[in-house]
Structure 1
Amino acid sequence: MRTALAGLWLTLELLSSPAQAATPVPVTLPTAGLSSAPAPLAGFVFQPASPGPHPAVVMLHGCGGAYAKDGTLNARHRMWGEFLAAHGYLALMLDSLGARGIKELCTQKFSERSLKEADRRGDAYAALAYLRSRSDVDGQRIGLLGWSHGGGVTLDTITHAPRTGSGFAAAVSFYPGCSSKAKKAEAFKPYAPLLLLIGEADDWTPAAPCKVLAAAATARGETMQIVTYPDTYHDFDNPALTQKRVRKDVPNGVNPGQGTTTAPNPEAREDAQQRVLAFFAQELK
């Protein structure tokens, strides 16, 4: 099995190498009466090389937004967009902050944030409507993927079906905040298969409440998987991280006022990529 996985990962690395990487194309998404944003949303499409229609994935950024300091898409979003496109998925990276004139949310207390997870649910459904309007997308094979704040938006979205039509076919959530949802775990009922990945050492969005949600969902017979990585912190899949860092500017987390930790874990990142690929292959087939 290890040999097979090693061979699979080598293949994935070759397929997603820079020479074959998809170039993110800027697009503008109408709010479609679904998003509360006061202006059209910005997005970036990573297009597969093969002809469509393709399965697709909407990607939702965390509290820091979609961009790096130089204004380009940050390394994590670019990596995942290229990775998904290399494996036949049209990936749409969505910017929820730009249209609202917000730079970031990370340094704001949860209670004072100007944009809540539930507010971004409409953005996700606006992106779903946009993708279904494209002739190169299979409208019934669209997944949702989010990180941190966007991971929480993913959980919120996948438990609130759209007012009309069908929702997302599957969802993946990286290190979301589960604490408030775990207090009402009996009400957490995802309408589509859900995969959640998080570090056991995460002191920004702890893993324990997410385990409570997963246990409640699976007890009801709903399709939810949770993968926890030992000795792994927040943002573990970010290829731009090179060392552990304690962010003192973040007021939230397990130990308020003491900061939160981000740190890379290349092994967990590689495992997560394989799990996400296998999950979407199964649920968006």
Structure 2
Amino acid sequence: MQYITRTLLAALSITGIFTGAAIAEPLADLSGGQTGHIEFMASNPEHRWALIRGRLGPQQVITGDLMMPKNVAGKVPVVVMSHGSDGITTGMHEVWAKPLNEAGYAVFMVDSFTPRDSKKISGTGEQLTWNTTVNISDAVYALKLLSTHPQIDASRIYHMGWSRGGSAVTSAMWPNYRLPITKSESIKWAGSIALYPGCNQRYKNPTLKITAPVLYLLGEKDDMTPAPACVEEAQQLAAEGNPITYKVYPGAYHVFDRPNQPYRKFQEGTFAKCAIDTVMPSRANDPAPWGPAYNRATNQTLATPQERDAAIKQCAATLWITVESNPKAREQAVQDVLAFLALNK
């Protein structure tokens, strides 16, 4: 069903066109122990810098599905899921949510697209223009919301994402993206898992540290979000004292964990040819000016946002990319994630 905005439904009710049940208000907390389909309030930050600076943008109702493990006794850990450019997929349910529930983890599957009138952005021309900052902020709002649930262990809230959702993970893992929304040092991730994120554009601040363990899961033959850039990033972050590890699955293409995906090549917008590092603010009141950025491909410093935008425009492209299921890599990835979660209780 196509998403209809709350404002439109209210207007239709006034005119007598819509006579359905009353519209439920988005939840400010989960103190009532709610599960299943949940509407909660998030926002639309204009871009990364706006989010970090505390300019959270217009409010936005977001939906998520909270799936609890069976036979819950006491508080349970939970995994927040950030989907990729295809939106919420069958694989997220069957490949991931099911074994996580069976292992005793709740799952909160966040839908960043449908409430914003999109089903997916892959193959639509939006791949190079979609504002991934909203995916980042949606996940952090979910973190804050879940911390109020009486059956959720607020000290064991994990974040997991795929492709664009993986890039949301590798941003939300930094405290400067989290604190403007949570406004609390104690509301934080217990760990983060990024499956084939985009690492060709990197955002970091040398004064910051990641506060919980992170795992990158990568496909050796991924040509949409190439593994080498992520390996390099993970190694650099680890060398700087951050708790990050990675694993590369031999022979695996993009979306290797997707079930029943035949080998396919198609054209898609990607930043795979980019190689740009950008210094981000360390906190909302960081007095430092913008950037700078650095183009690793040309060894050039990009001193202004305009120079950086021009460099990204030059390297962003529509290229042939490859997708294919890899059962061996998929099965191993599930085991690797369960092991990571068990290790980082």
TM-score by length of 2: 0.67
Q: C-alpha root-mean-square deviation of aligned residues, in Å?
A: 2.4
Distance in 2, matches of 1:131 and 1:90, equals 11
Distance in 2, matches of 1:85 and 1:128, equals 18
Distance in 1, matches of 2:101 and 2:163, equals 22
Structure exhibiting the larger radius of gyration computed from Cα positions: 2
Q: Cα gap change, 1:103/1:130 in structure 2, threshold over 3 Å: closer, same or farther?
A: same
Distance in 1, matches of 2:239 and 2:195, equals 22
The answer to which structure has the higher strand fraction is 2
Q: Cα gap change, 1:282/1:266 in structure 2, threshold over 3 Å: closer, same or farther?
A: same
Task: Quote how far apart the aligned CAs of 1:97 are.
Answer: 0.9
Distance in 2, matches of 1:233 and 1:56, equals 28
| AA in 2 matched with 1:65 | G
Task: Quote how far apart the aligned CAs of 1:26 are.
Answer: 1.7
Asked if the contact 1:199/1:232 (under 8 Å) is kept, the reply is yes
2:82 counterpart (35, 42, 60): 60
Q: Cα gap change, 1:54/1:37 in structure 2, threshold over 3 Å: closer, same or farther?
A: farther
Q: Cα gap change, 1:143/1:246 in structure 2, threshold over 3 Å: closer, same or farther?
A: same
Report matched runs for 1:28-39 at 5 Å. Answer: 28-31=39-42, 38-39=59-60
Distance in 2, matches of 1:53 and 1:194, equals 23
| AA in 1 matched with 2:150 | S
Distance in 2, matches of 1:141 and 1:90, equals 10
Alignment correspondent of 2:202: 181
Alignment correspondent of 1:134: 149
The answer to which structure has the higher helix fraction is 1
Listed as ranges, the gaps of 5+ residues in structure 2 are 1-34, 45-50, 274-316
Listed as ranges, the gaps of 5+ residues in structure 1 are 1-23, 68-73
Task: Quote how far apart the aligned CAs of 1:190 are.
Answer: 2.6
Distance in 2, matches of 1:102 and 1:25, equals 22
Alignment correspondent of 1:19: none
Alignment correspondent of 1:43: 64
Q: Secondary structure at the match of 2:197?
A: coil
Task: Quote how far apart the aligned CAs of 1:56 are.
Answer: 0.6
**Deviation digits for residues 83-128 of structure 1, max 9, x if unmatched?**
1111000100000011211232223355422x22x23221111111
- Identity of counterpart residues, as a percentage? 31
**Deviation digits for residues 204-223 of structure 1, max 9, x if unmatched?**
00011101111111112221
Counting matched residue pairs gives: 250
Asked if the contact 1:158/1:171 (under 8 Å) is kept, the reply is yes
Q: Cα gap change, 1:189/1:178 in structure 2, threshold over 3 Å: closer, same or farther?
A: farther
Asked if the contact 1:36/1:122 (under 8 Å) is kept, the reply is no
TM-score by length of 1: 0.80
